[in-house]
Structure 1
Amino acid sequence: MMKRGVLMSGILSLLLLTGPAFGQNYEQIAKQIVNTSAGVKPGELVVITGGQHTLPLMEAVAVEVTRAGGQATMMLGTDKVARAELMEMPESAIQADKTNNWLLQADVLITLPQYEDGRAVMAGVSPARMAKFSQVAAASGLTEKLDASKLRGVFVSYPNKSFAAAQQLDYPSYEQMVWGGIGADYAAIAGQAERLKQTLATGKKMRITSPAGTDLTLELGGRPVFTDDGVVSAADQQEKLIYNRTAALPGGRIYGTCQETSGTGRLAAANDYISDGKPLTGFKADLKSGQLANVRADAGADAFQQQMAPYGPTAMQITNFSIGLNPVMKPQSDKSYNPNTAAGMVYLRTGNNSLLGGTNKSPGGYSFPIANATVEVDGKVLVRNGQLVSTAVASTAPAPKKSRK
């Protein structure tokens, strides 16, 4: 990725956007992003980032920011420029993105996908060179500055034909699902998130199992727990941690950290892809004192090890988790499509968790989808066989015009 892309993905790996309720009405989508999710106010500086293929929506967002009285600035990237930076920039010239100093002065960041074909952009980039971009970004101190800033963010995406083709997804169905995700009942999702948050915030031990062979335990240790229900409310805007001032569209996740050295057991991940599209199938690893060991896979184990090696051992430490809450988003594990917002979808992640209140500052890491997981906290079942255990199930409905206090 380009430096800006690395930084944005490091700030938040949140995906998402648009739905049949909106169709291709970019003006209406922009109103949802600017007024409901971001709550832009007069006089605020709003930075809008994205790729050439997202320009119509970026433009609509900028117009809506102006109507709300904000000051809109657009930062556009293209696959060709990103590819040139990754492959052709002299290594001695790789440095942290200087525009981040300006970004920290903004009030709002609205991010759309930068790459139209991310796998093509990243194809053939060596793990060492990718690590160099991440390492200089980490050395810039941006992570530490984000919590202290006033910045709040909305991370937006929408169906991509290149991605769908690479995943062998039926594009019309995939497009309709992702568009429908933004029309979920976010009030119901918020209620469910708050109930789960109470359990996770006070819980001591989490156990995660799966039919594929995952059976591990994590110590929660009273760390912060974060919820995303698609809106940065007025109350959220006053929070100290950047993740509490961030939303995604479609939203629907609850996430947090574990004690970094606490993980024990076995991890078996759902099929996935590494960086530029190399398959990672049948992945398994042991977990000892929080560290992944004895890594093996049906395919992709060597590529995985090569990708992670430049970051050192802390990049192989299980540090955080997430549970999806959006009932519209559906995984297709046979095609390695595992949206992290899908209701009941569980992810475990390694590496940096400093923005989540943790202590791991590794510039590298990896996210593992756990299909059909069962999650227990102190014996209380939160997810069973990939299904949320709750009396309140978020339903599909037009996104409400709300601004929670």
Structure 2
Amino acid sequence: GQAFTEGAHFRLTSPRGTDLRFEAGGRRANVMTNVPGPGELSPVPTIEVNVPPIEGTAEGTLVVDASVPYLGIGPLREPFTCRVEKGFITSIEGGGEQAERLKRAIASHDDPNCWNVAELGVGLNPGARMTGRMLEDEGVLNTIHIGIGTSLMLGGTLKAATHYDLIMWDPTIEIDGRMVQRGKDILL
């Protein structure tokens, strides 16, 4: 979690085409180890580290190819692409009925903040499997997730009517120009 807390400039890429940049300088990372200390939260079975981007700084493209563990969507049959501008998802393309279900659910809240890029989370549990259940899917090793919607519970400042996680395989993460993750390999 230290690299996430101390990092300012983040870049995420993936073989499928994810290329997202955001700022998080001054934001404290949240570490969920499955062995919480006093006053800490760590839901089972997820093992992850996450950080909320500074609102309005995320820019680029996400190719979501693993899971959306909400709304009965679960593991994806085909990937979908999200365009991100000034911290918000501006479009979702592809992905068939699963992506359409996500778009309808977000739009049903009638809250533009539901499109906010609220979180970068890194799955670190080698025993977790992609099942369609949020607490397992977001902890799968060799994945990242971008949480969208509210960021308050993570240390961000934006409130929204919901929070959904969009999970991607085979990430590369750079923090301040230094590669810290390539696929399942943590390079710290």
TM-score of the two chains, using structure 2 as the length reference: 0.86
Which residue does the alignment assign to 1:302?
100
Q: Is the CA contact 1:206–1:376 (under 8 Å) kept in the aligned structure 2?
A: yes
Deviation, 1:224, is: 1.7
Q: Is the CA contact 2:71–2:102 (under 8 Å) kept in the aligned structure 1?
A: no
Q: How does 1:155-166 map to 2 (within 5 A)?
A: none
Deviation, 1:366, is: 2.0
Larger Rg: 1
Q: How does 1:236-251 map to 2 (within 5 A)?
A: 236-237=38-39, 245-251=40-46
Q: Secondary structure at the match of 1:322?
A: strand
Deviation, 1:280, is: 6.5
Once residues 251 and 268 of structure 1 are traced to their aligned partners in structure 2, the CA distance between those partners, rounded to angstroms, is 22
Point out where structure 2 has 5 or more consecutive residues left out of the alignment: none
Once residues 389 and 331 of structure 1 are traced to their aligned partners in structure 2, the CA distance between those partners, rounded to angstroms, is 24
Which residue does the alignment assign to 1:381?
179
Q: Is the CA contact 2:55–2:87 (under 8 Å) kept in the aligned structure 1?
A: yes
Greater share of strand residues, 1 or 2? 2
Among candidates 258, 261, 265, match of residue 56 of structure 2 = 261
Q: Secondary structure at the match of 2:27?
A: coil
Cα displacement string for residues 91-118 of structure 1 (whole angstroms, at most 9, x for unaligned residues): xxxxxxxxxxxxxxxxxxxxxxxxxxxx
Which residue does the alignment assign to 2:119?
320
Q: Is the CA contact 2:148–2:164 (under 8 Å) kept in the aligned structure 1?
A: yes
Which residue does the alignment assign to 2:168?
370
Which residue does the alignment assign to 1:340?
138
TM-score of the two chains, using structure 1 as the length reference: 0.42
Q: Is the CA contact 1:280–1:297 (under 8 Å) kept in the aligned structure 2?
A: no
Once residues 304 and 252 of structure 1 are traced to their aligned partners in structure 2, the CA distance between those partners, rounded to angstroms, is 25
Q: Is the CA contact 2:21–2:58 (under 8 Å) kept in the aligned structure 1?
A: yes
Point out where structure 1 has 5 or more consecutive residues left out of the alignment: 1-196, 238-244, 391-405
Which residue does the alignment assign to 2:33?
229
Deviation, 1:384, is: 0.3
> Percent sequence identity over matched residues?
22
Tell me: CA distance 1:288–1:251, structure 2 relative to 1, closer, same or farther (3 Å): closer
Confirm or deny that 1:270 pairs with 2:65. yes
Q: Which has the higher contact order (CA 8 A, sep 6+)?
A: 2
Greater share of helix residues, 1 or 2? 1
Once residues 302 and 252 of structure 1 are traced to their aligned partners in structure 2, the CA distance between those partners, rounded to angstroms, is 29
Deviation, 1:380, is: 1.5
Q: Secondary structure at the match of 2:12?
A: strand
Q: Is the CA contact 2:67–2:168 (under 8 Å) kept in the aligned structure 1?
A: no
Once residues 212 and 389 of structure 1 are traced to their aligned partners in structure 2, the CA distance between those partners, rounded to angstroms, is 21
Q: Secondary structure at the match of 1:200?
A: helix
Tell me: CA distance 1:246–1:217, structure 2 relative to 1, closer, same or farther (3 Å): same
**Residue-pair matches, total:** 181
Cα displacement string for residues 135-166 of structure 1 (whole angstroms, at most 9, x for unaligned residues): xxxxxxxxxxxxxxxxxxxxxxxxxxxxxxxx
Q: Secondary structure at the match of 1:304?
A: helix
Tell me: CA distance 1:276–1:327, structure 2 relative to 1, closer, same or farther (3 Å): closer
Once residues 117 and 15 of structure 2 are traced to their aligned partners in structure 1, the CA distance between those partners, rounded to angstroms, is 20
Once residues 67 and 59 of structure 2 are traced to their aligned partners in structure 1, the CA distance between those partners, rounded to angstroms, is 22
Among candidates 344, 352, 359, match of residue 150 of structure 2 = 352
Residue type of the alignment partner of 2:91: N
Which residue does the alignment assign to 2:88?
291
Residue type of the alignment partner of 1:212: R
Q: How does 1:90-239 map to 2 (within 5 A)?
A: 197-233=1-37, 236-237=38-39
Which residue does the alignment assign to 1:282?
79
Q: Is the CA contact 1:374–1:386 (under 8 Å) kept in the aligned structure 2?
A: no
Q: Is the CA contact 1:322–1:346 (under 8 Å) kept in the aligned structure 2?
A: yes
The RMSD of aligned alpha carbons is 2.3
Q: Secondary structure at the match of 1:223?
A: coil
Once residues 44 and 101 of structure 2 are traced to their aligned partners in structure 1, the CA distance between those partners, rounded to angstroms, is 32
Q: Is the CA contact 1:265–1:287 (under 8 Å) kept in the aligned structure 2?
A: yes
Once residues 73 and 18 of structure 2 are traced to their aligned partners in structure 1, the CA distance between those partners, rounded to angstroms, is 24
